[in-house]
Amino acid sequence: MATSTMRRRGVVGATSVLVALALAGCSGSHEAEQAAEPVTVDGGVLRAAFAGGSTETLNYLQGPTALDYVRARLVHAPLCELDPTAPDGVAYGVVESIEMSEDLSEYTLRVRDGVTFTDGTALTSADVLYSLRAPVLLEGLPFTRLVSRNVDLDAASAPDPSTVVLPALAPLADGRELICQSMLAIKDGTTEFTPQTPSSGPFTIAAFEPGQSTLLERNDGFYGQAPTLDEIELMSIADGTARVNALRQGQVDYISGLSPAQAQNLEGEGGLSVATSELPYASYQFFAMNLEHEPFADPRVREAFKLAVDRERIVENVYFGHAFEGNDVPALGFGSYDDSLEQRTHDQDRARELLDEAGRTGMSVELTVGPELPGMVETATLVVEDLKAVGVDATLAELAPGQLFADYPAYLALPFKAGYTPPAPFEPNHTPGTFPEVDALVQTARSAPTAEERLNASHAAQQLLWEKGNQIAPVFVPTISAASTAVSGVRELQFPDFAQATITP
């Protein structure tokens, strides 16, 4: 349609100058029309760019990039989503409710009526059950398998077209969060993902070229609130600087995955706005001290390291304010996060005292880091500086992109290393094996009969991690995006959601 064509600014080659002039003419008359009528924001094309890359795939179960999930989330309707503000902690999608049995051993999912796939068939409990089993059946990447680690999917059943019954492997209080963390609805029996694969989300795939671009068109048969955009074009621009250039020039309307420095540069530029995802959608960035490494077995050394780090300086100097100060405990912003914990402050004197008491003044340590999260290497550089300031002989080992986690056993064996966890609730994502007392408390937090007992256990676990945990978590890192001011309605979750985005011509 005319509006969408006119939105395509920027491509001004020798051959397209005439076209551009013609469009400029059209756009003038269009504005004149609009002055007489109330401005509507229906329709239009949103062009959004992500890092993407040639590993892009429509199979979101095996898609390692943010772009794969953003696209999948627009094409396949979610079963439900995390929503810390909702009564159940989740917002429902094609599943309209999840009931938990009194003894926490079974979950009953009710499937919404009136949801159809693009091939015209109705979405039933068989499809929901298959969607839950798909990560295992279709060899999905580990992060998609959270449900299968906690629920007995082989024993799960669909007794009628609108009911799914899921038995838990052990009493489980946070099953809703697990089911709603990243599960999308696909049709029973789906084994491959192509543009023609039946889907039930707000958009359908009109064209897909991996590592290049995806063209999405509005699905008028979508069961939920209808999107206003006609089309969304998701583009892959691997380099961050190139993404910024494309936005500045108007080749795209929205870019994701900015570095804090790029965000700082773009802020205040006319016609552009910078947005940061809100809590809880910020990644937990940590520096893990390996307890097998002798000095770190002493809790005084761990505490000294935590006290040595100047968190406010990291938030200001590395993230230019686009980050949330951390308190060495994960899942900031989620329902069970313990806000009553005292915020750890920067205390160099106490850090020196503790190191002295432990007999570790002047100890040597190497911090291993890689550019796996925006600002991670810069944060590690400041952590090393802070440690030097309290008398630790600290050095930095910086790895190439992608190398930090490539050899995981080697990563685990490092004495002191950077890492991160994407935004997710604490208890179901806790990795046991470091502190048995914490593991036991988390187990209670996930299975105690009353909500109060569960919350108390969770807070006790967090208290222990705060006191003697082996992770320094100076900041929580949000996703930073930038857009033309014509764009609105983008939900900045862990990944942006464009389902209700609008664009003014």
Partner 1 sequence: MRLDLWIAVRVVAALATLTALSVVVFWATEVLPGDAAGVLSGPHATDAEREAIGVALGLDRPGAERYLEWMRGALGGDLGTSLATGRDVAGIVGARLVTSLAVLVPAVMMIVTLAGVLGTAAGLRQGGRLDRWLSGTTLGLIGTPDFLVATVLLAVFTAWWPVLPAVALVRPGESLWQHPELVLLPAVALALGGFGATMRLLRASVAHTVATPFAEFARLNGVRGLRYVWGVVVANALAPAVMALTVMTAGLLGGAIVVETLFNVPGLGSELTQAVAHRDVPLVQGLSLVLGAITLLLLLVGDVTARLLDRHGPTATGPAR
- Provide the binding-site residues for partner 1, judged by CB under 8 A: 10-16, 49, 53-57, 62, 64, 139, 141-143, 145, 149, 207-215, 233, 235-239, 241-243, 245-246, 248-249, 251-252, 400-403, 405-408, 410-411, 419-421, 429, 431
> Residue 223 or residue 281: which is nearer to partner 1 going by CB?
281
To the nearest whole angstrom, how small is the minimum distance from the Cβ of residue 415 to partner 1?
Answer: 16
To the nearest whole angstrom, how small is the minimum distance from the Cβ of residue 304 to partner 1?
Answer: 26
> Residue 271 or residue 449: which is nearer to partner 1 going by CB?
271
Helix intervals (H) in 196-272: 240-248, 260-266
To the nearest whole angstrom, how small is the minimum distance from the Cβ of residue 448 to partner 1?
Answer: 24
Q: Would you call the peptide bond into 374 cis, given omega within 30 degrees of 0 as the criterion? A: no
> Residue 58 or residue 186: which is nearer to partner 1 going by CB?
58
The angle at the Cα of 446, spanning 169 to 174, to the nearest 5 degrees, equals 80
> Residue 12 or residue 155: which is nearer to partner 1 going by CB?
12
For residue 30, count other CB atoms closer than 10 A to its CB: 15
To the nearest whole angstrom, how small is the minimum distance from the Cβ of residue 238 to partner 1?
Answer: 7
> Residue 258 or residue 308: which is nearer to partner 1 going by CB?
258
Q: Give the residues across from 111 on adjacent strands.
A: 95
Q: Where are the beta strands (DSSP E) in 304-421?
A: 324-325, 364-369, 393-398, 416-421
> Residue 93 or residue 428: which is nearer to partner 1 going by CB?
428
Residue 91 carries which side chain, given as an amino acid letter? A
Give the Cα separation of 187 and 444 in Å (integer). 36
To the nearest whole angstrom, how small is the minimum distance from the Cβ of residue 251 to partner 1?
Answer: 6
> Residue 54 or residue 97: which is nearer to partner 1 going by CB?
54
* End-to-end CA separation in angstroms for the chain: 12
The residue assigned the tokens 């000294």 is 304
To the nearest whole angstrom, how small is the minimum distance from the Cβ of residue 8 to partner 1?
Answer: 10
To the nearest whole angstrom, how small is the minimum distance from the Cβ of residue 121 to partner 1?
Answer: 27
To the nearest whole angstrom, how small is the minimum distance from the Cβ of residue 357 to partner 1?
Answer: 33
Q: Dihedrals φ, ψ of 424, to 5°?
A: -165, 150
State the virtual CA torsion across 489, 491, 492, 493 in degrees, nearest 10: 180
Give the Cα separation of 461 and 447 in Å (integer). 14
The residue assigned the tokens 């890359």 is 53
To the nearest whole angstrom, how small is the minimum distance from the Cβ of residue 4 to partner 1?
Answer: 13
Residue 491: closest CA among 186, 194, 199, 85: 85
In order, the DSSP letters of 109-165 are: EEEPTT-B-TTSPBP-HHHHHHHHHHHHHTT--GGG-HHHHHB-TTT-EEEETTEEE
Distances (CA, A) of 194 to 57, 124, 206: 9, 22, 10
Q: From the DSSP assignment, how many helices (H) and strands (E) are in the chain? A: 15, 23
